[in-house]
Structure 1
């Protein structure tokens, strides 16, 4: 081990621990700003569905970066809430084509101010240039480590 490398005795030197804490903080602020009608994962699924009408559940899970069983459960809950519809795909009866409902579209529209406040609050401790750098580095970290995930994020073209 190089002399300058930490032995990582302090838990707060572990990037994974800090990322977990950042996620806890992000979820807490999410509920403060967005209310409790949707969970963060439900919001992500619905937001991605709005941009990919007619996508199937497996592909929607992949472009959201969640596993397919979680995606199916989340889609079922969103359908129960009347925020999306699930239609059997005739060529693959095990798959469902998804469409956001007008109520789902309206909810997403109503949540835009909360999402903007969430982003501002989460990044508030950083200066403007630091916010840009943080987002660039966080994006790079996620993209470069994508294949290490249990549910690698897929682009629409790959799914």
Structure 2
């Protein structure tokens, strides 16, 4: 596959560099998350809680794999969520911790769903329906083809 990028990336305008644009997109997404969702939950905490919603009872290592986090970050976030009463962590036989949303965590997450839909609308509003689908498809593809380059590659629930 041939590349359309010039060999001399130093002369490429910063606004044509994927890494810079991805960083800016992340800044925007986090800003909109906090504007719409508030500051009670961070975007990463939300991702962890959604992961536990879809995979209740997993351990911290699986949580890290499924949420695309390193294990120490996953453990730290789990401890913070437990301290807030939003998840439970039960020590298993081999020292692993089984993680589940608490009733308060389930309630919090359920209350966030309508606001998350609003956030999605805000982020994608400048794109028509076809562009939105294309943008999300390209983001998914980018993340998939570069997964192994991550310091915390995403691993499926299987």
- The TM-score with structure 1 as length reference comes to 0.93
Listed as ranges, the gaps of 5+ residues in structure 1 are none
Alignment of structure 1 residues 16-95 onto 2, 5 Å: 16-90=19-93, 92-93=94-95, 95=96
Q: What is the CA-CA distance between 1:102 and the residue it aligns to? A: 0.6
Alignment of structure 1 residues 123-134 onto 2, 5 Å: 123-134=124-135
Listed as ranges, the gaps of 5+ residues in structure 2 are none
Aligned partner of 2:145 in structure 1 is 144
Q: What is the CA-CA distance between 1:125 and the residue it aligns to? A: 1.1
Distance 1:130 1:66 in 2: 29
Q: What is the CA-CA distance between 1:48 and the residue it aligns to? A: 0.7
Q: What is the CA-CA distance between 1:17 and the residue it aligns to? A: 0.4
Q: Could you say what secondary structure the match of 1:87 adopts?
A: strand
Given the superposition, is the C-alpha separation of residues 124 and 3 from structure 1 closer, same or farther in structure 2, using an over 3 Å criterion? closer
4+ long deviations beyond 3 Å: none
Alpha-carbon displacement from aligned partner over 1:37-57 (angstroms, at most 9, x marks no partner): 111100000111011110001
Q: What is the CA-CA distance between 1:62 and the residue it aligns to? A: 0.7
Aligned partner of 1:104 in structure 2 is 105
